[in-house]
Amino acid sequence: MTKISIVMPVYNSEQHLKNCISCISEQTFKDFELICVDDGSTDNSAKILEEIAANVTFPMKIIHQNNQGAGVARNNGFKEVTGETTIFLDSDDYFKPEFLEEMYAQYTKTLADIVICQYDVVLPDGKFLTRKQGFKKFMIPEKEIFCYEDCPQYIFNFANHAPWNKLYRTTFIKENHLEFDNIPNSNDTFFTLSSLISAKKITTVDKVLIIYNFMNANSITLKRKKNKIYAIQTFQKLKDFLLEHGKMNEKTEQSFNNAYIDCIFYVFNHISKEDRKPLLKFIKENIPLYKKDYIYNRIFYYRLLIIKTTPDWFYILLYKMKCNVRKIKALLKND
């Protein structure tokens, strides 16, 4: 049995694809297979994949599908997995040579359902942002293996909501019937969050092993649709999941609400200007002004406070001022 299966959705990634797969081919760990799912790319991605597959020394399979989104692509790729463990990578990111080796070593040491590593970010200006963004150490217990019962108030907050910095035990995914959603965006949120609360064993590797590329205009993150409904649907689905499995209690509900607020403000930062007022109305009508200590991110608390107590135009003005200040700082930094 292969030790690691890598599932990689590909959509219009010709600019980064060769470098991405080159990082995979240079891994110090060699017992893996790569399953690429071309999601109806309209550039040269499909051709590049075929050329690479003809020359690599590791098992590589290419699946072609009509454009259905990354969620469907990941699900179709997972059907072909033969590995003991599975990683869902993006086709525009980069990986340290020791990435697979470190992740699999921690898996064999702990036999965890999920292994999570840290990552850094490449910003649009090409500069690296080093923050170890994969998980927050202060939110998890000081032990090598843990589960949601050890940190229920943080289970949806301690790690990022994407799957690409996580190694999963393949049978864990199958046993829990975990699938990615067939929606245009946020299709990985339910998969990731439901896996975190379902896992009996979670462990971490406190090393930066991935460079997340925020520069690709075709990336899943930057192509968030101008519609908040998918994020709302995802969290409603997660809430139903928690209730169905008896895992909604006071602490997990707090973690859920914090993750939901985080997601809503992320959506606000990425939607079009004309969609911001309807979202502000949604926030006013559907998200309570929780007590200050209830919200982990104090910035989110004050944003909620302003939204709840001032006219929409005032909050939008403040938001525009904040964005302009950031632009000015960036320009001054580059001078």
Instruction: Say yes or no: 51 and 126 in one domain.
Output: yes
Domain extent for 9: 4-213
Look up residue 29 and give its two tokens: 């760990």
Instruction: Say yes or no: 198 and 112 in one domain.
Output: yes
The rounded distance, in Å, linking the Cα atoms of 90 and 86 is 13
**Tokens 């299966």 -> residue:** 5
Beta bridge partners of 122: 128, 213
Look up residue 146 and give its two tokens: 């843990």
The per-residue pLDDT of the chain, averaged, comes to 91
The rounded distance, in Å, linking the Cα atoms of 116 and 223 is 25
186, 213, 240: which is the final residue of a domain? 213
With a CB cutoff of 8 Å and minimum separation 6, the contacts of 286 are: none
In degrees and rounded to multiples of 5, residue 120 shows phi and psi of -110, 170
C-beta of residue 195 within 8 angstroms of C-beta of residue 112? no
Look up residue 310 and give its two tokens: 């001032």
Q: For residue 180, give the DSSP letter.
A: -
Amino acid identity, position 137: K
What is the CB-side half-sphere exposure of residue 161 using CA atoms within 13 A?
Answer: 25
Instruction: Say yes or no: 262 and 327 in one domain.
Output: yes
- Which pLDDT score is estimated for 223? 47
The rounded distance, in Å, linking the Cα atoms of 160 and 158 is 7
C-beta of residue 45 within 8 angstroms of C-beta of residue 246? no
What pLDDT digit, counting tens, does each position of 117-136 carry? 999 987 766 666 777 889 99
Instruction: Say yes or no: 109 and 167 in one domain.
Output: yes
Asked if the structure places residue 29 within a domain, the reply is: yes
Q: How confident is the model at residue 225 (pLDDT cuts 50, 70, 90)?
A: very low
Beta bridge partners of 166: 116
213, 247, 269: which is the final residue of a domain? 213
- Give me the number of domains the chain comprises: 2
- Percent residues over pLDDT 90 in the chain: 79
- Which pLDDT score is estimated for 186? 79
C-beta of residue 83 within 8 angstroms of C-beta of residue 2? yes
Examine the pLDDT at 217 and tell me if it is beyond 90.
Answer: no
The enclosing domain of 38 has a CATH number of 3.90.550.10
Confidence (pTM): 0.92
Distances (CA, A) of 62 to 9, 164, 214, 232: 10, 19, 25, 33
The rounded distance, in Å, linking the Cα atoms of 178 and 163 is 12
- Percent residues over pLDDT 70 in the chain: 92
